[in-house]
Structure 1
Amino acid sequence: MKATLIYVHDPMCSWCWGFTDVYEQLLEKLPAEIVIRRLLGGLAPDSEVPMPESMQAMLQQTWRRIETMIPGKQFNFEFWSQCTPRRSTYPACRAIIAAREQGEQYDPIMTRAIQQAYYQQARNPSDHETLVKLAAEIGLDAERFASQLLDEKTHQQLLDEIDSARSIGLDSFPSLMLEQNGQRTPILANYTNMDLILNQINASL
């Protein structure tokens, strides 16, 4: 029976951006019998309220910490002056689901597009217009995407994924868990050493 590696993330989670390089290295080295299941964790519900300055300062501090901790990982701090930040990641999460509707392969592609827009290009993925533009940029049918982005079924799918993640105790991001023969094993993420993650997985098979 194949094992499943569950990966819970949010495209607007700073630490998930920090984890991208190691995660991609891990995918290249995983045993062939492991299936990947990506779940959206939903960091912050919909909101039109500008982010308080205290939270903006806290997140900028987190960005600096990640830059210090993870070699080569950089953020574009112009986001904080060029955009109106909101504590609202559900739109970006729904964008991943809407992208999947045009092919499962677009899940990681849209995730990376949102991360690059947010962390490197000073664009705001909390905004509907930004997400539709990103969909077009990665080759999706933008009109179809825009419709699905606002569809209630898309929102319900997000809520279902959040519930699925929380039901197995994965409520922080990024999170990894190996599932095999009805047994679940938490896998500790490491932001700089892929081998430490792979060793945990191999030891659990």
Structure 2
Amino acid sequence: MSLLPGNPLLLYVTDPMCAWCYGFTPVIRRLNALWFGRLTVQVLVGGLNPYAHDPLSAPERDKLAVNWHRSQRKSLLPFDYSFFLQKDAQYDTEPACRALLTVRHLRPGLSLEVLRALHSAFFADGLDLSNTRVLVEVLRPFGIPENLFLAVFETDEIYRQTQEEFQLVEQMGVSTLPSVYLDHAQGPRLISRGFCELPELEERLLQALQIPY
């Protein structure tokens, strides 16, 4: 048996357009700050609803709206519900995931901050994250040059890598977003599935760190 390393890698499986992830990302950011130097957080794009090109049906809208309301009650974060007033609203999360993966390649240290900004842009400001111009504007304050971002974001390679990451997440057995895993040579260990508060997440993490492989 081998113990987990002293500076473990935490895998945060998320999606910029996932309401529960929007509520949970502040928890991950606080954990990352509290454990600075003792823990590394890597963001994985889970693909909540990628490649969706048809407008949402009425039942899909209702289910999604209820999900947003529940997340808002739990997280106390602002939500803009104008999305549901759009006649032909689509819910394709692939472009936002690809943008986040692009940032992870270009500026890996900014992944969590950019994720937070994408969450806020979609849920609080009601912006369309399937629009490349919107993505560029969200990233502008982070100092990532537009031409550099687009040079990666629009390549066949980043499309392929995004799809492969969706597949990787599926192979990991992720069934709920957000989910948190501890990485290890013998396979990721599930720490948290769904939303939880910081004390609970820390307790689960400490318990996992004490369990030998």
TM-score above 0.5, yes or no = yes
Alignment of 1:40-119 (within 5 A): 40-70=45-75, 72-81=76-85, 84-119=88-123
Give the CA deviation at 1:195.
1.2
| Paired positions, count | 204
Q: TM-score, normalised by structure 1?
A: 0.87
Q: Write the letter of the residue equivalent to 1:5.
A: L
| 1:8 counterpart (13, 26, 35) | 13
Give the CA deviation at 1:128.
2.2
Identity over aligned pairs, percent: 24
Query: Match of 1:143?
Result: 147
Q: TM-score, normalised by structure 2?
A: 0.84
Stretch deviating more after TM superposition (118-127 or 41-50)? 41-50
Alignment of 1:174-185 (within 5 A): 174-180=178-184, 182=186, 184-185=188-189
Deviation string, structure 1 residues 43-85 (Cα, Å, up to 9, x no partner): 1222332222321222111111112223x22211123336852
Q: In structure 1, list runs of 5 or more residues that go unmatched.
A: none
Give the CA deviation at 1:19.
0.7
Q: Write the letter of the residue equivalent to 1:98.
A: T
**Structure-2 separation of matches of 1:47 and 1:163:** 16
**Structure-2 separation of matches of 1:83 and 1:112:** 27
Query: Match of 2:40?
Result: 35
Deviation string, structure 1 residues 131-181 (Cα, Å, up to 9, x no partner): 122222432211222232221111111122222222221242111111345
Q: Secondary structure at the match of 1:42?
A: coil
Q: Write the letter of the residue equivalent to 2:18.
A: C
Q: Secondary structure at the match of 1:202?
A: helix
Q: In structure 2, list runs of 5 or more residues that go unmatched.
A: none
Q: 1:181/1:148 Cα in 2 relative to 1: closer, same or farther (>3 Å)? A: closer
Q: CA RMSD in A?
A: 2.2
